[in-house]
């Protein structure tokens, strides 16, 4: 068999930090980047005698995430202890939810191919601290330091069914998940900052088989790109083994970013027994139907809803709608422009083209759009009214961003009004005709496309301020008379 | 009469009328401690400078005419598994030998607010695991009634301190009998409150679903007073009850006429010492004479309670004690790598009984055994709770001896864990059901060679949050039989002083 005769089964386990101000079981701050061990207390340090108390806001956000992912919220769920020893785990166990999770049975829709990826479960747990090793890893280090600022930060874990069949589908699932959770205002969902962490379960089997292959778990995936690469590598590796008549071993593998290979971390057979049992310090998590309804009713608009609003109500192409919903800040920006009177497709063109182009070039993230919607809309009005040309507007946009001035001020200060009066334009046109006799001949001989060259010359002489539509008319008029 | 010889109620009233000062009260107890502590060894640490400062503060308040709270300068001893800010909290374990608590347990904070003066931290079985206080890493506590005997455990230090007159009041914790059993062995009063009545925040956890902090005193009133100070909802403990706290001392007087008391037959089948049994029968007669309707009843699942307890408690303990890993605080053994650091730290830092229970619990929670052990135990626990519920449909209280026998000898059971576990056979079911229960001295038995008299305790079990009923029964009975018991306590304390004078120790 060749590799085309195999298919992958990919399931993803995604950990996401919730956007609460305080931790899951104490009232310490969750702020990222503070000096080590400053946001700590007896509870998140696991000091003797301390006890956990659940954070209501974290529960609310977790329920919101569950609803946004089409899950069934279980009105009664339970906290369990996951027992293992590690220096950054201060209690020697992690409070998690094991066999009675907060939510079950959701899904995410991806576009290509259009399909549903099922979500098996979503549960709440607490984060561990962060170890820093004076060496490659804890076994090679001469010493290690632990920062407990992250200890106790609320997380949700979202476990998918093994429904993805290619690395590309996995990427789409993750992007969509990220987008949904951002729009639901549940999490920052940033892989670089660790507020989103992804583990993959991947197996291969001959196409058409209904027996799942032996899965491996992939860890240390720090970007979507790493996920795609690691999954592709695993596919080749596992198919290679099967082709050689060998067996895939169930194990946890570590993605080595620099070598771009996966390597065995530990065999599953010898993996730890976490000895889950109900946490006796915490009563069952009981939610009222009213609470869940309230969370549902206060759900922010989600990307799918926004896309269909853009496509169906505003007549935007699906492509535009998808780009504009890449981030909540961007969609908000666009909505504001339309609300201020901008024509949707025009606004979309300017946002997707010049604005995002500028931001990309300068490395500005979506959340920090360097422009007020009002300024963009004013600029569009100036174009529409013929005060400036579209070409000049491109420069004005950059100037607006860099100086913070509004477009009218820039136009006035720099004398950028479009020249529309026919007398002035006619003078320039005559000069261009006089300067380019050979081109004029070509046009008269029927090569009408060359007229664009003359328009360009007029624009050049007016430093882009001429109204190109009018120039066109005057030129045609002069050349045919 | 020395201050330490007075009843708590008397001391408190003298304090409030400003006939004596908190500092004089403290001096008297510190003096008594100097006198008999070398014999009894109830304390792991006496916090003299801190206590003097607290007493001076209370006196200053009293002079200014301010209300220092319901304890008003009364000294109190704390079991060493309760966090008192700035004081070592060792749980009588080598692994926490030098750990200083950076915060106050909720019950400690509440006692401070009520004007308590903390005498010191008392000895216990390591991490509250044991029934004799012999499992302390820092040496056993002796029973003041007979220095060759154990004071019971795990709160043996608190019980012995109160019995010997080294503290009028003390706090302990009770997971399977750790307040009531030592109270019974030392002739003191000890109450295990309903699970959830007293916040566990700041109590170093042994078995979280069973642990409960409670008072020791020299009378039922003492227990009511201390309970009043510490009971009530605490947002820091998710398992604490929102029920309103109650002024227990104001509701102690009540006629027992028509009160229904059940005596579960199963309780009397656990190898009860014939003398204890006889004494118990006599108490039942006294209660009948007082108008109590005493009837025998049955709790069929009771014989399974001890086994159930010894699955659930170690399971929770194995997880609760995982944090003692040498990484952040406490004892750390030096080792070449992380894995062996863990092994050596925990191997050397924990004593035998603690290691035994961690292993038991780890086993019971392991994949493949969980259903057969932990889950089954959890189910039987539900049945036991239901048995009690059924019994309480018919009865207001249930009665039994607190322990099958009076205090046993030091070393007698330490090599035989099962026989040690049996010392808690009558108290453990109460924790599994989360009920309140009082142990009060109810009589004496004469023991072997020296013919010494040793106290035994009556256990009064109530419905959830019916501490008031339990205390009322205890109080009424105390009025009947307390005088004889107090006389014997006075004699015992004098003997103790004399022992000290005759054969100075250390």
Q: Tens digits of per-residue pLDDT, A340-391?
A: 999 999 999 999 999 999 999 999 999 899 999 999 999 999 998 878 888 8
A343 burial (CB, 10 Å; 0-12 / 13-18 / 19+) is: middle
Question: Mind listing the pLDDT tens digit for each residue in A288-315?
Answer: 999 999 999 999 999 999 999 999 999 9
Residue A42 tokens read as 């007896």
Closest-CA residue of B relative to A81 is: B319
Closest-CA residue of B relative to A278 is: B316
Indicate the residue of A48, A280, A282 with minimum beta-carbon distance to B96: A48
A15 burial (CB, 10 Å; 0-12 / 13-18 / 19+) is: middle
B235 burial (CB, 10 Å; 0-12 / 13-18 / 19+) is: exposed
Q: What's the pTM value of the predicted model, to 2 decimals?
A: 0.91
Residue B70 tokens read as 């319901």
CA distance A154 to B110: 31
CA distance B400 to B263: 6
- Annotation says B79 is catalytic: yes
B367 interface with A at CB cutoff 8 Å: yes
Residues of A with Cβ-Cβ distance to B325 under 8 angstroms: 85, 87, 92
- Residue-level pLDDT at B502: 67
pLDDT at A139 over 80: no
Closest-CA residue of B relative to A48 is: B204
Question: Mind listing the pLDDT tens digit for each residue in A88-108?
Answer: 999 999 999 999 999 999 999
Pick the CATH number of B24-302+379-502 from 3.90.1300.10, 2.60.40.1150, 3.90.180.10, 2.40.110.10: 3.90.1300.10
What are the distances in angstroms from CA A437 to CA A431, A445, A449, B99?
A: 11, 12, 16, 97
Q: Answer yes or no: are the C-beta atoms of B58 and B147 closer than 8 Å.
A: no
Q: Answer yes or no: are the C-beta atoms of A89 and A76 closer than 8 Å.
A: no
Q: Where are the domains of chain A?
A: 3-291, 301-414, 422-480
Indicate the residue of B235, B325, B365 with minimum beta-carbon distance to A85: B325
Give me the residues of B, 44-103, that contact A with CB < 8 A: 81-83, 89, 91, 96, 99, 101-103
Å between B428 CA and nearest CA of chain A: 17
Residue B198 tokens read as 């007293």
Q: Three-state SS for B350? A: coil
Name the CA radius of gyration of chain A, rounded: 30
Asked whether the CA dihedral A351, A352, A353, A357 is positive or negative, the reply is positive
Indicate the residue of B205, B236, B327 with minimum beta-carbon distance to A87: B327
Please state whether B115 falls in left (phi above 0), alpha (psi between -120 and 50) or beta: left
Residue B504 tokens read as 């100075």
Residues of B with Cβ-Cβ distance to A42 under 8 angstroms: 102-103
Predicted confidence pLDDT, tens digits, chain B (506 residues): 899 999 999 999 999 999 999 999 999 999 999 999 999 999 999 999 999 999 999 999 999 999 999 999 999 999 999 999 999 999 999 999 999 999 999 999 999 999 999 999 999 999 999 999 999 999 999 999 999 999 999 999 999 999 999 999 999 999 999 999 999 999 999 999 999 999 999 999 999 999 999 999 999 999 999 999 999 999 999 999 998 878 999 999 999 999 999 999 999 887 899 999 999 999 999 999 999 999 999 999 999 999 999 999 999 999 999 999 999 999 999 999 899 999 999 999 999 999 999 999 999 999 999 999 999 999 999 999 999 999 999 999 999 999 999 999 999 998 888 888 888 999 999 999 999 999 999 999 998 667 789 999 999 999 999 999 999 999 999 999 999 999 999 999 999 998 877 655 44
Interface contact flag, A54 B327, Cβ < 8 Å: no
Q: Answer yes or no: are the C-beta atoms of B32 and B192 closer than 8 Å.
A: no
The torsion angles phi and psi of A164, rounded to 5 degrees, stand at: -90, 140
B13 interface with A at CB cutoff 8 Å: no
Whose CA is closest to A253, among A214, A292, A283, A223?
A: A214
- Annotation says B400 is catalytic: no
Interface contact flag, B236 A53, Cβ < 8 Å: yes
Strands A115-126 and A130-133: unpaired
Indicate the residue of B81, B203, B315 with minimum beta-carbon distance to A277: B315
Strands A277-278 and A103-110: unpaired
Name the CA radius of gyration of chain B, rounded: 21
Largest CA distance in chain A: 98
Task: Show the CA angle centred on residue A236, arms to residues A230 and A242, nearest 5°.
Answer: 130
Strands A154-160 and A93-96: unpaired
Question: What CATH number has the domain spanning A422-480?
Answer: 1.10.10.410
CA distance B73 to B60: 11
Task: Show the CA angle centred on residue B178, arms to residues B456 and B34, nearest 5°.
Answer: 80
CA distance A165 to A146: 39
Q: Three-state SS for A160? A: strand
Q: Where are the domains of chain B?
A: 24-302+379-502
Indicate the residue of B82, B91, B238 with minimum beta-carbon distance to A282: B238
Interface contact flag, B315 A90, Cβ < 8 Å: no
B372 interface with A at CB cutoff 8 Å: no
Question: DSSP label at A315?
Answer: -
Interface contact flag, B239 A83, Cβ < 8 Å: no
- Annotation says B219 is catalytic: no
Question: Within 10 Å of residue A403's Cβ, how many Cβ atoms?
Answer: 11
Task: Show the CA angle centred on residue B138, arms to residues B137 and B142, nearest 5°.
Answer: 110
Q: Answer yes or no: are the C-beta atoms of A118 and A10 closer than 8 Å.
A: no
CA distance B221 to B405: 26
Single out the catalytic residue among B28, B136, B178, B318: B178
Q: Three-state SS for A130? A: strand
């Amino acid at each position: 068999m060749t590799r085309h005769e195999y298919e992958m089964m990919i399931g993803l386990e995604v950990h996401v930090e919730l956007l609460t101000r305080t931790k899951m079981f104490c009232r310490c701050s969750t702020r990222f980047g503070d000096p080590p061990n400053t946001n700590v207390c007896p509870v998140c340090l696991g000091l003797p005698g301390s006890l956990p108390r659940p954070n209501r806001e974290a529960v609310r956000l977790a329920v919101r995430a569950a609803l946004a992912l089409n899950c069934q919220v279980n009105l009664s769920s339970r906290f369990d202890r996951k027992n293992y020893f590690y220096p950054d785990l201060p209690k020697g166990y992690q409070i998690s939810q094991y066999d009675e999770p907060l939510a079950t049975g959701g899904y995410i829709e991806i576009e290509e191919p259009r399909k549903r990826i099922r979500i098996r479960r979503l549960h709440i747990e607490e984060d561990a601290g962060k170890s820093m090793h004076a060496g490659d890893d804890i076994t090679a280090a001469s010493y290690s330091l632990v920062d407990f600022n992250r200890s106790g930060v609320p997380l949700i874990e979202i476990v998918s069914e093994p429904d993805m069949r290619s690395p590309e589908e996995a990427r789409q699932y993750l992007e969509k998940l990220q987008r949904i959770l951002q729009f639901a205002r549940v999490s920052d969902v940033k892989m670089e900052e660790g507020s989103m962490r992804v583990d993959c379960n991947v197996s291969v089997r001959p196409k058409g088989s209904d027996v799942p292959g032996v899965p491996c778990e992939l860890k240390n995936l720090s970007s979507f790109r790493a996920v795609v690469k690691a999954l592709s590598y695993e596919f080749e590796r596992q198919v290679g083994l099967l082709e050689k008549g060998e067996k895939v071993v169930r194990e946890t593998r570590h993605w080595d970013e620099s070598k771009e290979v996966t390597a065995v971390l530990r065999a599953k057979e010898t993996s730890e027994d976490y000895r889950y049992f109900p946490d006796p310090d915490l009563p069952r998590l009981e939610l009222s139907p009213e609470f869940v309804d309230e969370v549902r009713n206060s759900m922010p608009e989600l990307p799918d809803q926004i896309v269909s609003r853009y496509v169906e109500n505003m007549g935007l192409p699906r492509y535009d709608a998808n780009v504009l919903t890449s981030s909540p800040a961007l969609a908000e920006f666009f909505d504001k422009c339309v609300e201020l009177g901008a024509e949707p497709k025009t606004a979309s063109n300017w946002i997707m083209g010049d604005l995002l182009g500028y931001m990309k070039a300068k490395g500005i993230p979506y959340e920090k759009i360097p422009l007020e919607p009002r300024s963009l809309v004013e600029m569009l009005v100036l174009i529409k009214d013929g005060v400036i040309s579209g070409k000049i507007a491109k420069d004005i946009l950059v100037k607006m961003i860099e100086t913070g001035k509004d477009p009218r001020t820039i136009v006035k200060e720099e004398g950028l009004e479009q020249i529309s009066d026919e007398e002035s334009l006619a003078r320039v046109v005559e000069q261009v005709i006089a300067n380019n006799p050979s081109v004029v001949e070509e046009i008269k001989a029927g090569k009408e496309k060359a007229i664009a060259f003359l328009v360009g010359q007029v624009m050049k002489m007016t430093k882009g301020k001429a109204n190109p539509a009018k120039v066109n008319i005057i030129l045609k008029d002069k050349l045919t008379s | 009469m020395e201050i330490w010889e007075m009843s708590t109620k008397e001391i408190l009233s003298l304090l409030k009328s400003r006939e004596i000062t908190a500092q004089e009260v403290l001096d008297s107890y510190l003096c008594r401690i100097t006198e008999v502590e070398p014999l009894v060894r109830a304390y792991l640490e006496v916090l003299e400078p801190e206590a003097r400062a607290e007493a001076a503060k209370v006196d200053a308040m009293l002079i200014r005419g301010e209300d220092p709270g319901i304890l008003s300068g009364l000294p109190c001893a704390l079991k060493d598994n309760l966090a008192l800010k700035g004081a070592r909290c060792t749980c009588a374990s080598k692994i926490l030998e030098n750990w200083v608590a950076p915060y106050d347990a909720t019950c400690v904070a509440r006692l401070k607010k009520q004007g308590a003066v903390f005498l010191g931290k008392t000895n216990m079985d390591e991490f509250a695991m044991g029934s004799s206080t012999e499992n302390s890493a820092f040496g056993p506590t002796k029973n003041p009634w007979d220095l060759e005997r154990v004071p019971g455990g795990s709160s043996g230090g608190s019980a012995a301190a109160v019995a010997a007159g080294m503290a009028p009041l003390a706090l302990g914790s009770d997971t399977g009998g750790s307040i009531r059993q030592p109270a019974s062995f030392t002739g003191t009063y000890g109450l295990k409150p309903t699970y959830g009545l007293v916040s566990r925040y700041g109590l170093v956890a042994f078995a979280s679903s069973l642990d409960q902090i409670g008072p020791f005193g020299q009378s039922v009133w003492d227990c009511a007073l201390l309970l009043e100070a510490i009971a009530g909802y605490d947002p820091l403990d998710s398992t604490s009850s929102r029920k309103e706290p109650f002024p227990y001392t104001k509701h102690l007087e009540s006629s027992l006429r028509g009160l229904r008391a059940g005596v579960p037959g199963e309780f009397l089948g656990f190898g009860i010492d014939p003398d204890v049994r006889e004494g118990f029968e006599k108490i039942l007669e006294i209660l009948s004479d007082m108008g109590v309707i005493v009837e025998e009843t049955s709790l069929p699942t009771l014989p399974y309670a001890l086994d159930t307890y010894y699955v659930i408690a170690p399971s929770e303990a194995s997880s609760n004690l995982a944090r003692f890993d040498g990484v952040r605080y406490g004892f750390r053994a030096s080792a070449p790598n992380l894995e062996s650091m863990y092994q050596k730290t925990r191997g050397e830092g924990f004593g035998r009984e603690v290691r035994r229970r961690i292993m038991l619990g780890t086993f019971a929670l392991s994949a493949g055994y969980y259903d057969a052990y932990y889950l089954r135990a959890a189910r039987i626990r539900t049945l036991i709770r239901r048995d009690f519920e059924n019994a309480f449909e018919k009865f207001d209280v249930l009665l039994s001896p607190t322990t099958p026998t009076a205090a046993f000898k030091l070393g007698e059971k330490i090599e035989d864990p099962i026989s040690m576990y049996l010392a808690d056979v009558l108290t453990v079911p109460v924790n599994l059901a989360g009920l309140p229960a009082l142990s009060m001295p109810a009589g004496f038995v004469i023991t072997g060679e020296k013919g010494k008299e040793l106290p035994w305790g009556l256990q009064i079990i109530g419905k959830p949050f019916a501490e008031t009923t339990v205390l009322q029964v205890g109080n009424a009975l105390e009025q009947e039989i307390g005088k004889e018991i107090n006389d014997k306590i006075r004699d015992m304390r004098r003997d103790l002083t004399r022992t000290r004078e005759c054969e100075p120790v250390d």
